Amino acid sequence: MRIIIFGPPGAGKGTYASRLGRELKIAVISTGDIFRDEIKQNTDLGGKVVEFVKSGDLVPDEIVTDIVTKRINMPNSKRGFILDGYPRNVEQAKSLGNITKVDAVILLIVPDWIIVERLSNRRICKKCGAIFNLKYLKPKRPGICDKCGEELFQREDDKPKVVRERLNVYEAQTRPLIGYYRDRLPILNIECNSVDIPPKVIVDKILQELQKLNLLG
Ligand code: AMP
């Protein structure tokens, strides 16, 4: 199974992708997570992308596509993969089409006010990357990850100024991909109209839709 999870920043892509990855035993390829890791480890790649990520702008297509190609060809992607955060523009979608076949796009449809609530309250574990929300997915102990006990932090690019830029970039470059894929792949429309829907409910909805397309085998 090869799927793309698609939607604006703060739609819940990372949360649902990691659950779907576990459920379906397929690799999760999150370009944002890859870049954050590389930046944290001060690698060459981290150095090349840090300014783009910090400002909320897109990293150049060649860099991103190169990384995604490598990940897709890794043994743990053999059973399939879910792409979170890629493609981000039509150019990347065309490149992806040259690298691999994709079965479906999961489109998360989320009202703007939820996006703002999600991004401004999102906190992430420094160690394992688990995602929490100060209002809607609270950690049991304030500031501490339920899963591994490490400290939580706010992503630099979840601060208001950068969020505005990321949403602008989404509207200008990423949203047009919906039109691009409409004629090419099945699109699963997943409505998320409330902030307190437990992630499991959305993930179950996605699994049902994948089942309808006979993608669950
Ligand atoms: P995300 O975690 O998906 O919101 O990504 C965080 C940041 O990483 C974005 O604001 C971009 O700077 C960069 N990034 C992630 N994926 C891509 C991509 N496919 N193309 C270009 N830049 C990306």
Model confidence pLDDT, tens digit, residues 59-110 = 999 999 999 999 999 999 999 999 999 999 999 999 999 999 999 999 999 9
The count of domains in the chain is 2
Both tokens assigned to 43: 């690698």
pLDDT at 100: 96
pLDDT for the residue numbered 189: 96
Cα 139 to middle of ligand 1, angstroms: 26
Residues 138, 55 within the same domain: no
Residue 146 counted as domain residue: yes
In this predicted structure, what is the pLDDT of residue 87?
Answer: 98
pLDDT at residue 188, as a whole number: 97
Quick: pLDDT tens for 112-147: 888 888 899 999 999 998 999 998 889 999 999 999
Same domain, 95 and 191: yes
CA of 9 to the centre of ligand 1 (A): 9
Same domain, yes or no: 91 and 173: yes
Structural domain includes residue 79: yes
Candidate of 53, 110, 177 to mutate for ligand 1, largest count of ligand atoms within 8 Å of Cβ: 53
pTM as predicted: 0.91
Calpha distance 95→144 (Å, rounded): 40
Give the separation between CA 208 and CA 123, rounded to whole angstroms. Answer: 29
The tokens for 48 are 């090349």
Provide the residue range defining the domain that includes 16: 2-110+162-212
Residue 29 forms beta bridges with which residues? 83
The confidence score (pLDDT) of residue 24 equals: 95
Query: Which pLDDT score, from 0 to 100, does residue 204 have?
Result: 96
Residues 167 and 92 in one domain: yes
155-208: per-residue pLDDT in tens?
889 988 898 899 999 999 999 999 999 999 999 999 998 888 889 999 999 999
Q: 201: phi > 0 → left, psi -120 to 50 → alpha, else beta; which?
A: alpha
CB atoms within 10 A of CB 1: 18
Q: Is residue 217 part of a domain?
A: no
Q: What is the pLDDT of residue 37?
A: 93
Are 22 and 68 found together in one domain?
yes
What is the best residue among 5, 13, 59 to mutate for testing ligand 1's pocket, by most ligand atoms within 8 Å of CB? 59
Separation of 212 CA from ligand 1 center, angstroms?
31
CATH at residue 106 = 3.40.50.300
96/122 same-domain check? no
Protein residue whose Cα sits closest to atom 1 of ligand 1: 32
d(CA 81, CA 76): 9
Residues 38 and 49 sit within 8 Å (Cβ to Cβ):
yes
Q: Are residues 34 and 52 in the same domain?
A: yes
Residue 203 lies in a domain: yes
How remote is the CA of residue 168 from the centroid of ligand 1, in Å? 13
Mean pLDDT, to the nearest integer, of 6-10? Answer: 93
pLDDT for position 216: 86
Residues 137 and 116 in one domain: yes
- Average pLDDT over every residue of 2-20: 94
Residue 194: its pLDDT value, please?
A: 86
Instruction: Tell me what pLDDT residue 117 has.
Output: 85
User: What is the per-residue pLDDT for 72?
Assistant: 97
Query: Which are the contacts of 42, defined by CB distance < 8 A and separation ≥ 6?
Result: none
Residues 106 and 198 in one domain: yes
- Nearest one of 184, 211, 206 to 87, comparing CA atoms: 184
| Omega cis (within 30) before 87 | yes
* Res. 44: pLDDT tops 80: yes
Residues with CB under 6 A from ligand 1: 9, 31-32, 35, 52-53, 56-59, 64, 85-86, 88, 92, 157, 166
